[in-house]
Amino acid sequence: MVFGKLLAKFYGKHTKGLKIENLKESLENTYHMIPDIQQRIELLDSLEVDEQLDTDCKEGLGKTMYKHLLIENNVESLQQLNQLQLFHLITHYISHRINRELQARYQMRVSKLFNM
């Protein structure tokens, strides 16, 4: 869940405006986590979307988002994707189609889906 919390921290700051004076401190406080994040990215890239994750996405994100992911990406099943591809598609949808007031809630759902 560390990855999800890290993303939520930066996400929250992003929506409130970036404060340049805190940028160096923020980067220094998270720099040591880059190898863990990179390892997690490589793991997601190597894992296929299985039936359980497919079902969890439908239930956890809602049928509207689920259908959008299928239609917009011209796939019949999310199982045609690897987990990194799915992660990117979901986060893109959230950042471009979900109201700002709800985005943080959806980002935390994504973190749980991918055990971040």
Instruction: Give pLDDT tens digits along the chain (116 positions).
Output: 445 555 555 554 444 555 667 778 878 888 888 899 899 999 999 999 999 999 999 999 999 999 999 998 899 999 999 999 999 999 999 999 999 999 999 999 999 999 88
Structure tokens, 46: 């190597």
Instruction: Let me know: does 77 contact 110? Beta carbons within 8 Å.
Output: no
Instruction: Let me know: does 8 contact 104? Beta carbons within 8 Å.
Output: yes
What is the count of structural domains for the chain?
1
Crossing angle, helix 83-97 and helix 63-72, to 10 degrees? 110
Domain assignment of residue 88, given as a range = 2-113
Assessment of whether the complete model's pTM goes beyond 0.85: no
Tell me the chain's radius of gyration from C-alpha atoms.
15
